[in-house]
Structure 1
Amino acid sequence: MSRYPAGVDVAIVGSGPTGAAYARILSERVPDAVVAMFEVGPTVSDPAGSHVKNIVDPDVRAAAQRRSEGPGAGQAKFDNPGAVKAGERRARPGTFLLADGYQVEGEDGLPVAAFSSNVGGMAAHWTGACPRPGGSERIDFLPDLDELLDESDRLLGVTTDAFDAAPFTELVRERLAAAVDDGRPEKARVQRMPLAVHRREDGRLVWSGSDVVLGDVTRANPNFSLYDDSLVTRVIVEDGRAAGVTVRDLSTGETQEVRARFVVVAADALRTPQVLWASGIRPDALGRTLNDQSQVVYAARLRGIEPPAEDQVAAAGALSEQSGVTWVPFADDLPFHGQIMQLDASPVPLADDDPVIPGSIVGLGLFCAKDLQWDDRVEFTEDLDPYGMPAMRVRYRLTERDRAVLERAREEIVRLANAIGEPIGDRPFTMPLGASLHYQGTTRMGEVDDGRSVCGPDSEVWGVPGLFVAGNGVIPTATACNPTLTAVALAVRGARRVAAELDRRGPLLSSNSDIRV
């Protein structure tokens, strides 16, 4: 007997923060709606979808990361930028690389394009950074964007004070502000990084994952079900409308159709277009305007400081109190976003006899906005990937403008490192393309159906009523800031639309308990 229901009101493909946002909004607004969420990977944390950094035992945490690595389990890893060597392809713990098709000869490609397969998706492994888009990063045809971002803050549990106790964070901000803020509007000045991190009553820091987005209201909702190890192979379309999904139980190999009134595909920016393509849903814009954020990193050592008191450097679970995070917002005249993190130890080897004051090593990262190109894309072939889905091929080039912005970022990061303290290493390091994990644009949103977008302002796919897409791939602008907050905001808009449709249409499936297994 199948463990899946015969039919639901809403089928959600993917358990990352945007899929979780749909489940949360539906649970709050139409709690009678029957919602099923399907995740290709296993449950690796408790509660389901929680961040692995909250797992105190390092062995248990490492096991959770390994289980998230899908068919790429066991590949080499890098834990920090200093461990990466030019030309090497390594994946962060908890992720696995695109094994083939990541680069076409003569193109730049995305050599370290990576995924996570687990309940919670990449939100079980992310940094938690939730900056707001600014300037040209913003989506100008959404008049309610700021309210949606406010709601995204709520769902993700965003705070700005979680690391206020970390030593030297105020000093780092002061030194950066002196180098950056002159002439900038207040919103674009150096400030605390908004983070999906909160402090519990017992003082322990907790990172948000999809568990926080789902919240108690979703977990307590008897009409919500989460199915792990469940691969959605296609969206069923009947009479031009989404009518359900086909799901393969990876534990048994059995396949079943699950009927649905609405389908939300929130797999990620590469696998969402894969599911649509496999379903025969292939608008011209599908997979197009793929964009990543080129990333430059460097490190500096604070000068003129004294060691902090011992009580300031105590660890809090898997998190360290000296890991303060500062934000240098994106600006159109300097099209990159800065994430400045104090580190427990240097990302660049120091002399053995050179003691490190906790919190005194500062890692600098600048993310660059891409020059959007229609021909930067992910394609799909008749070959099959390890999951039996259409194999991917990435077509991706840096333009001359991209290379100029990268060079400016290298110059700027050296200037910022000198403003903070003493730079470590001869020069900054440019991360391999794809390292940001911030892939966007492949199911991009548009104001009108002009052939240049996949979905409308409510994230409903053009020409396929009832089918919605979610995730970073929906973001239509070139961004340098971390995209999760924006992606969840767009998911909120789509979820509200689905909730309104369900409410308007009348009787739901919730009273038919026989449809749920």
Structure 2
Amino acid sequence: MSGRRYPESVDVAIVGSGPTGSAYARILSERAPGATIAMFEVGPTVSTPPGAHVKNISDPAERARAQAASEGPGERGAKVANPGAAKAGVRGARPGTFLLEDGYAFEGEDGLPVAAMSSNVGGMSAHWTGACPRPNDSERIAFLDDLDELLDEGDRLLGVTRNAFDSAPFGAIVRERLSAAVDAGRVDETKVQRMPLAVHRRDDGRLVWSGSDVVLGEATRENPGFSLFDESLAVRVLVEGGRAAGVIVRDLRTGEEHRVAARFVVVAADALRTPQLLWASGIRPEALGRYLNDQAQVVFASRLRDMPPLAEDAPTAGLAEYSGVSWVPFTDDMPFHGQIMQLDASPIPLAEDDPVVPGSIVGLGLFCAKDLQADDRVVFDDEHVDGYGMPAPRIHYRLTDRDHEVVERARQEIVRLAEAIGDPVGDRPFTLPLGSSLHYQGSTRMGVADDGTSVCDRDSEVWGVPDLFVAGNGVIPTATACNPTVTSVALAVRGARKIAAVLSQERTVAATASV
């Protein structure tokens, strides 16, 4: 899959190897056999197969090395994985991610002080929690009639399951208690339920978490027309005759730049670096970088009470699986999404000095939908550059009065939920620094018309630049509270089908003409 001989031309050039870029490669491999596809990733390969989740690396030292290798250019500092340190004013990124050096907040604005990225094959899917809830109510994209079918495809590509934690002895109890507090007046889709997760359990009982390797699948890995180039920085999208025509790629191992012509270009970098590449390429629609949104996140913990005794051979260290992962879906009446999981299974421990007995403490997190504003944006200029020498993302971001109201409601609701399932741990919930969710959206948003409020059409094709597609969470145009990955993969499926259909039609016409 990897090589250092860059092609002179391909049918499709994909920038970024995360779940959405990988979804393009997979759908094209399935629907357009014979198409040549080159994928370029700025970071290194850190797992086997390429793009696999680092949690699947059993050796802790190897896993730590993979995480460190994903942390972008420059020095790799200490990681901060809990809000206890954030309370002390320390800006810290989680293992496998890195922060903006500056430009993350401006005077008089809230900013996104812990906005983070990953640079590695697989992108953030090598480090994520695997949560794949579907959008509900106003989270849904109303102008896509085929959204549910696309979400089904997203589930297929990500390997989403609901039964990986069915054997968790406390899971049903947690959901029963949550349901009693939440479900009244809700339709079935928004009642408390198991969290859909991109994870499966092997025959030997081991959990295997999905990364881009699962999205790529055998169809892509066995495709002779597919090539993956890591440590390869796309510095410009080529536009010729008003259409996308390829990319300029810098080999970070040698510093040499290569021109790769392409019939189609897909930029699937992330919600900060996709607009970065378009801006650097002189592609600057009015909405580029605007409507940027994060999900303000409130966390708390509760010690389960009146629990049945565990078996004598139950594990007391590591990842115990007693409580599973439960989901309280977003509704317009309650504009936040709840993720309830055993605290030692959560990526955000509540505090280092709070002893955690496996299975006894449950972490609660509520993610809040943002009040979308065009002035919440990532901007670029010719003066500031990032560690790769590209225009540096600089973020303007404010919480509105409505945002503050929703966060306060979430703080009250999370206490109510904690009391419903057990005895709250600590005096009050904690609101994480903005950017903590890693769910940045809207910066290349989809729309129905080229009216200055969106960057791309329903197929993710950029307005005014035919054959250029964007992918990733940035394409999502709605205010969501749920984890966005399955939605962004679903949107990528739609765009990939468009490209596959055009390539197939062109091949048919060419074959007919040659007869």
Q: Which secondary structure does the structure 1 equivalent of 2:380 belong to? A: strand
Distance 1:261 1:86 in 2: 51
Name the structure 2 match of 1:501.
502
Residue 84 of structure 1 and its aligned partner are, at CA, apart by 3.3
Q: Which secondary structure does the structure 2 equivalent of 1:184 belong to? A: coil
Distance 1:311 1:460 in 2: 55
Distance 2:130 2:321 in 1: 15
Residue 87 of structure 1 and its aligned partner are, at CA, apart by 2.8
From 138, 141, 145, the counterpart of 1:139: 141
Name the structure 2 match of 1:372.
372
How far does the alpha carbon of each residue in 1:404-461 deviate from its partner, in whole angstroms, 9 at most, with x for none?
0000000000000000101011000000000000000000000111111000000000
Partner amino acid, structure 1, of 2:350: P
Taking structure 1 as the reference length, the TM-score comes to: 0.95
Superposition map of 1:54-453 within 5 A:
54-313=56-315, 319-322=319-322, 324-344=324-344, 347-348=350-351, 357-382=357-382, 383-453=384-454
Partner amino acid, structure 1, of 2:385: L
Distance 2:455 2:241 in 1: 19
Distance 2:423 2:319 in 1: 26
How far does the alpha carbon of each residue in 1:369-426 deviate from its partner, in whole angstroms, 9 at most, with x for none?
0000010000001121110101121000000000000000000000000001010110
Distance 1:151 1:327 in 2: 21
Partner amino acid, structure 1, of 2:13: A
Determine if the alignment matches structure 1 residue 480 to structure 2 residue 489: no
Name the structure 1 match of 2:459.
458
Residue 165 of structure 1 and its aligned partner are, at CA, apart by 1.5
Q: Which secondary structure does the structure 1 equivalent of 2:73 belong to? A: helix
Q: Is the 8 A contact 1:261 1:466 kept in 2?
A: yes
How far does the alpha carbon of each residue in 1:313-351 deviate from its partner, in whole angstroms, 9 at most, with x for none?
488xx8542351100000101100000011238633567
Residue 494 of structure 1 and its aligned partner are, at CA, apart by 0.2
Residue 307 of structure 1 and its aligned partner are, at CA, apart by 3.3
Distance 2:329 2:71 in 1: 32
Distance 2:361 2:4 in 1: 53
Q: Which secondary structure does the structure 2 equivalent of 1:344 belong to? A: helix
**Which moves more between the two structures, 284-293 or 498-507?**
498-507
Residue 164 of structure 1 and its aligned partner are, at CA, apart by 1.3
Distance 1:349 1:444 in 2: 38
Distance 2:307 2:174 in 1: 11
Partner amino acid, structure 2, of 1:183: G
Q: Is the 8 A contact 1:313 1:322 kept in 2?
A: no
Residue 200 of structure 1 and its aligned partner are, at CA, apart by 1.1
Count of aligned residue pairs for this structure pair:
504
Residue 71 of structure 1 and its aligned partner are, at CA, apart by 1.6
Q: Which secondary structure does the structure 2 equivalent of 1:262 belong to? A: strand
Q: Is the 8 A contact 2:16 2:268 kept in 1?
A: yes
RMSD, aligned CA: 1.7
Q: Is the 8 A contact 1:296 1:430 kept in 2?
A: yes
Q: Is the 8 A contact 2:472 2:488 kept in 1?
A: yes
Q: Is the 8 A contact 1:307 1:358 kept in 2?
A: no
Taking structure 2 as the reference length, the TM-score comes to: 0.95
Residue 2 of structure 1 and its aligned partner are, at CA, apart by 6.3
Distance 1:329 1:232 in 2: 38
Partner amino acid, structure 2, of 1:18: T
Partner amino acid, structure 2, of 1:202: D
Distance 2:477 2:261 in 1: 30
Q: Is the 8 A contact 1:323 1:344 kept in 2?
A: no
Partner amino acid, structure 1, of 2:205: G
Distance 2:192 2:288 in 1: 37
Distance 1:350 1:433 in 2: 24
Q: Is the 8 A contact 1:34 1:508 kept in 2?
A: no
Distance 2:100 2:289 in 1: 16
* Inter-CA distance 350–2: structure 2 relative to 1 (3 Å threshold): closer
Unmatched segments (≥5 aa) in structure 1 = 510-517
Q: Which secondary structure does the structure 2 equivalent of 1:70 belong to? A: coil
* Inter-CA distance 267–110: structure 2 relative to 1 (3 Å threshold): same
Q: Is the 8 A contact 1:156 1:196 kept in 2?
A: yes
Residue 74 of structure 1 and its aligned partner are, at CA, apart by 2.0
* Inter-CA distance 36–483: structure 2 relative to 1 (3 Å threshold): same
Q: Is the 8 A contact 1:66 1:73 kept in 2?
A: no
Unmatched segments (≥5 aa) in structure 2 = 511-515
Name the structure 2 match of 1:512.
none
Distance 1:185 1:311 in 2: 40
Determine if the alignment matches structure 1 residue 25 to structure 2 residue 27: yes
Q: Is the 8 A contact 1:268 1:471 kept in 2?
A: yes
Residue 86 of structure 1 and its aligned partner are, at CA, apart by 4.7
* Inter-CA distance 362–83: structure 2 relative to 1 (3 Å threshold): farther
Name the structure 1 match of 2:513.
none
* Inter-CA distance 338–50: structure 2 relative to 1 (3 Å threshold): same
Q: Is the 8 A contact 2:300 2:365 kept in 1?
A: yes
Partner amino acid, structure 1, of 2:471: A
How far does the alpha carbon of each residue in 1:456-488 deviate from its partner, in whole angstroms, 9 at most, with x for none?
000000010100000000000000000000000
Distance 1:420 1:410 in 2: 16
Distance 2:260 2:360 in 1: 54
Distance 2:334 2:420 in 1: 17
**Which moves more between the two structures, 384-393 or 499-508?**
499-508
Q: Is the 8 A contact 2:321 2:342 kept in 1?
A: no
Name the structure 2 match of 1:514.
none
Q: Is the 8 A contact 1:460 1:469 kept in 2?
A: yes
Q: Which secondary structure does the structure 2 equivalent of 1:506 belong to? A: helix
Distance 2:84 2:180 in 1: 27
Q: Is the 8 A contact 1:77 1:92 kept in 2?
A: yes
Partner amino acid, structure 2, of 1:89: R
Distance 1:323 1:7 in 2: 51
Residue 88 of structure 1 and its aligned partner are, at CA, apart by 2.1
Q: Is the 8 A contact 2:316 2:358 kept in 1?
A: no
How far does the alpha carbon of each residue in 1:48-86 deviate from its partner, in whole angstroms, 9 at most, with x for none?
000000000000000000000012542231234445325
Distance 2:192 2:364 in 1: 13
